[in-house]
Chain A
Amino acid sequence: MIEAIQRLDCFVENKPGVLARMVGLISGRGYNIQALNVGPTEDGTVSRMKIDILGDTKVVNQIILQLRNQVNVIEVSARQIRKAK
């Protein structure tokens, strides 16, 4: 198991309940969100979320696929920002 902090960069529809679905998918697995930033993009109907999570890379990759499956999610990309200490 390789643990690392990954930053998920998400573009989602700006609608009620979307943040709750995204966060619920992560917290439901017992993963703690290290940092979270949400705001509108220039296109007011789209929000951007940056979610930092610490976890096993394999599981995080699975979470990304499941986030992409969400009805209001336009795109999710991820990058490792640092190895866990």
Chain B
Amino acid sequence: MKTIKERTGAQALVESLEKAGTEVLFGYPGGAVIDIFDRLVDAKFKFVLGRHEQGSAHMADGYARASGKVGVCLVTSGPGATNVITGLGTAYLDGVPMVVITGQVPLSQIGTDAFQEADMSGICRAVTKHSFLVQSADEIPETVAQAFYIATHGKPGPVVIDIPKNCQQALTKAQYPERVNLRAYHPEFTATPAQISRFAKLLNEAKKPVIYAGGGTIAAFAAKELGELARKAQVPVATTLMGLGAFDQTDPLSLGMAGMHGAPCANYAIDEADLIVALGVRFSDRVTGKLSAYAQKAKIIHVDCDPAEVNKNVAVELGIVADVRDVLATVASRVKAGNHDAWLAKIAGWKKAHPISYTTLHKGVIMPQQVIEAIDKVSQGEAIVVTDVGQQQMWASQYVHHRHARRFLTSGGMGTMGFGIPAAIGAALARPDLKVVAVCGDGGAQMTFEEVVVAVLEKLPITFVIVNNGCLGMVRQWQELFYHKRYSQTILKREGLEYLPDFLKLAEAHGAKAYRVLDPAKLDGVMKKALESKETTLVEVIVDPEANVYPMIPGGKTVKEMIFK
């Protein structure tokens, strides 16, 4: 029999992370994890040092979204742990699989207000799927295996492992388990044959069906099956913000994005539909608007892996708790080749009458929508576009031709400003074969700008695009439309002063090559130069501050109250 070698908990953790398939670990050192960092010197995986723990968490998140693998992050106790809370919440609401390891003070000091002590398992409870507080070095390998299992099974999400310092130092012979055995957690559900028959029957009988696909479709790797079903049954497809890329928008069956800032034809089609096939969605308030008026003429089929989602916000005709890809693959052979020509013609009419569009407000001033068009044109729709949150996020959702899953990364549920820059770094590490463009506003960019250094040091050819309107645009837009133009604390630019900070100098100080564009005629050229560069680049585009995101269905309102300009 092979003798089992005794090693420290810290070494056991590193070995377990290797066994779990970790390729990149993001994080930041500190006193309570110094033993683990010592063992990282010889680890088989890469370590990427962030500049703030929130940045490291978003990097792991961006890595997970782009790759479909688990994003892994390691930070210290106390402030290191509390700094990842926003990153955890962001991943939790968007169902992103992550394992976050936090250091903890020694078990003997827990509860004594020791230096850099924080009750992490308590603090993170509302923003994680699960958390572990390790009690001995012997628990470490099995806990890591369980954490990876929980992060990826059922609805994906973040899991925290809090490891006291003495457990990192103690010796253990414990081995990484062959299989994970969680007594109470069995989130695999499958559709019954009766549910599949009913699904097929409802779809075959529908005259005005719409597929409405969300982030769960991408999480389930079901984009291929979705495309096949939609084309066979000739059903138009709308997606949520999180579902962008699940269906090729250059396909005539694509309706684009539904919801508050969605395409009018998508919202009209849902309003008029007699059947909605909802796949991996949660009927968020940003999509439904006023619930009592939502899709009143439609029967709803809802497929989701999470039993707590079905019938949560809308009452459904047929709820199926199962893996979206399995259901689509099974139902495909039961669905008849469709013919919905009259319905598709009506939709084509809406598309033509109400395209997503904008008009230049001031001659010679770049419209922010143009910036997104330039990125889409230069990258030919093949780049990974990572956004921050706010107006620029919505314009990116509207003006990129989304073609592939996992190429549009955005904080949908939490709406976390500061997500864009670090998430782009994670995405670039996950997909070195693809160009990564981060679209940020001047507000959000200032929240996590320090991470640009990481892109430069890792030699990542990311292009950070700052859509600079000198204001916190989305809140400013709401103040303009709904708060009598009282611009309370949303105008960042001071009259008579240059734009501050100077993003060119800031980028150069961080080691990135930077460009500033004010002239609409030069936009495409500069964007091309930046996107083709092998270095980390930043393009600051000074845009019209008065531009608003349209169309818009104000919060809690209905399709009939859509504002076009």
Chain B nearest CB, measured from A57 CB (Å): 13
Interface residues of A in 2-51 (CB under 8 A from B): 12-13, 16-17, 20-21, 24, 28
Q: How many residues of A contact B (CB 8 A)?
A: 18
| C-alpha gap A74/B183 in the complex (Å) | 8
Q: Which of B199-207, B216-224, B306-314, B362-370 contacts A (4 or more CB under 8 A)?
A: B306-314
Contact A69 B154 (CB under 8 A): yes
Let me know if B308 and A24 touch, CB within 8 A: no
CB B138 to nearest CB in A, in angstroms, measures: 16
Determine whether the beta carbon of A13 is less than 8 Å from that of B122: no
Q: Residue A84 at the B interface, CB < 8 A?
A: no
Once the chains bind, are A13 and B184 in contact (CB under 8 Å)?
yes
Contacts of B308 in A (CB 8 A): 62, 65-66, 68-69
What separation, in Å, do the CA atoms of A68 and B184 have in the docked complex? 9
Q: Is B331 at the interface (CB under 8 A from chain A)?
A: no
Chain A proximity mask over B335-349: 1 for CB below 8 Å, otherwise 0: 000000000000000
Instruction: Check if B307 sits within 8 Å of A71, measured CB to CB.
Output: no
**Which segment, of B129-137, B264-272, B379-387, B525-533, faces chain A?**
B129-137
Contact flags (1/0) for A41-85 with B, using CB distance below 8 Å?
000000000000000000000100110111111100000000000
Residues of A within 8 A of B479 (CB): none
- Give the shortest distance, in Å, between A56 (CB) and chain B (any CB): 13
Q: Mark B107-135, 1 if CB is under 8 A from A, else 0.
A: 00000000000000110011001110100
Q: Which residue of B lies closest to A68 (CB)?
A: B307
A66 to B125, CA, bound (A): 13
Among residues of A, the one whose C-beta sits closest to the C-beta of B150 is A71
Residues in A with CB closer than 8 Å to B187 are: 69
Closest A residue by C-beta to B187: A69
Contacts of A73 in B (CB 8 A): 184
Bound state CA distance, A73 and B125, in angstroms? 15
- Residue B182 is within 8 A (CB to CB) of chain A in the complex: yes
Q: Does B482 contact A (CB under 8 A)?
A: no
Are A62 and B312 touching (Cβ within 8 A)? Answer: yes
A13 to B308, CA, bound (A): 21
What is the minimal beta-carbon distance from A44 to any residue of chain B, in angstroms?
A: 13
Main secondary structure of the interface of B (DSSP, over half): loop
CB contacts (< 8 Å) of A12 on chain B: these are 184
Closest CB of chain B to A48's CB: distance in Å? 13
Q: Give Cα A12–Cα B184 distance, bound, in whole angstroms.
A: 8
CB distance from B259 to the nearest CB of A (A): 22
Contact B126 A71 (CB under 8 A): no
Which residues does chain B contribute within 8 Å of A28, judged by CB atoms? 126
Q: In the complex, which of the residues A17, A24, A70 has the most CB atoms of chain B within 10 Å of its own CB atom?
A: A17
A62 to B121, CA, bound (A): 24
- Contact check: which of B126, B131, B307 meets A17 at CB < 8 Å? B131
Contacting pair B125 A71 (CB below 8 A): no
Smallest beta-carbon distance A24→chain B, Å: 5
How far, in Å, is A84 (CB) from chain B's closest CB?
23
- Between B121, B150, B154, B185, the greatest number of chain A beta carbons within 10 A of the residue's beta carbon is seen for B185
Cβ contact within 8 Å between B184 and A71: yes
| In the complex, chain A residues whose CB is within 8 Å of the CB of B121 | 17
What distance in Å separates the Cβ of A61 from its nearest Cβ neighbour in chain B? 9
A16 CA / B184 CA spacing, docked (Å) = 15
Q: Is the CB of B133 within 8 A of A16?
A: yes
Distance of A71 Cα from B143 Cα, bound (Å): 13
**Cα separation A62 to B314 with both chains bound (whole Å):** 12
CA distance A16 to B121 in the complex (A): 10
With A72-B184, A74-B183 in contact, is A24–B130 under 8 Å at CB? no
Residue of A nearest to B155 (CB): A69
Q: How close is A27's CB to chain B, nearest CB, in angstroms?
A: 10
Min C-beta distance of A72 to chain B, whole Å: 5
Q: Are A71 and B312 in contact (CB under 8 A)?
A: no
**Restricting to B299-331, which residues have a CB under 8 Å from any CB of A?**
306-308, 312
Select which of A20, A65, A70 is within 8 A of B307 by beta carbon: A65
Give the distance in Å from the alpha carbon of A65 to the alpha carbon of B187 in the complex. 12
Q: Is the CB of A71 within 8 A of B133?
A: no
Interfacial chain B residues near A65, Cβ < 8 Å: 307-308
CB neighbours of B307 from chain A (8 A): 65, 68-69
Give B140-187 interface residues, CB cut-off 8 Å to A.
150, 154, 182-185, 187
The residue on B at minimum CB distance from A63 is: B308
CA A52 – CA B166 in complex, angstroms? Answer: 40
Across the interface, B183 reaches (CB within 8 A) one of A13, A16, A24, A66, namely A13
- Residues of chain A contacted by B129 (CB below 8 angstroms): 71
Contact: A69 with B306, CB < 8 Å? Answer: yes
Smallest CB gap from A12: residue in B: B184
> Given that A65-B307, A72-B184, A73-B184 are contacting pairs, would A20 and B150 also be in contact in the complex, using a CB cutoff of 8 Å?
no
Interface contact A24-B133, CB-CB below 8 Å: no
**Complex alpha-carbon distance, A17 and B129, angstroms:** 13
Residues of A within 8 A of B182 (CB): 71
In angstroms, Cα B126 to Cα A73, docked, is 16
Least CB distance, B475 to chain A, in whole angstroms: 26
Distance, CA A58 to CA B98, complexed state (A): 31
Which chain B positions have C-beta within 8 A of A69?
A: 154, 187, 306-308
Separation in Å of the B561 CB from the closest CB of chain A? Answer: 26
A16 to B139, CA, bound (A): 14
Q: Which of B125, B154, B184, B185 contacts A20 (CB 8 A)?
A: B125
Taking the nearest CB of chain A, how far is it from the CB of B157, in angstroms? 10
Give the residue name and chain of the B residue nearest to A24 (CB).
B125
CA distance A72 to B159 in the complex (A): 14
Q: Which residues of A contact B (CB under 8 A)?
A: 12-13, 16-17, 20-21, 24, 28, 62, 65-66, 68-74
> When A and B form their complex, which 3 residue pairs have the shortest distance between CB atoms, in order from nearest?
A65-B308, A71-B130, A74-B184
What would 10 more interface pairs be, CB under 8 Å, given A17-B131, A69-B306?
A13-B183, A20-B125, A21-B125, A66-B308, A68-B308, A69-B154, A69-B308, A71-B130, A71-B185, A72-B184
Interface residues of B (CB under 8 A from A): 121-122, 125-126, 129-131, 133, 150, 154, 182-185, 187, 306-308, 312
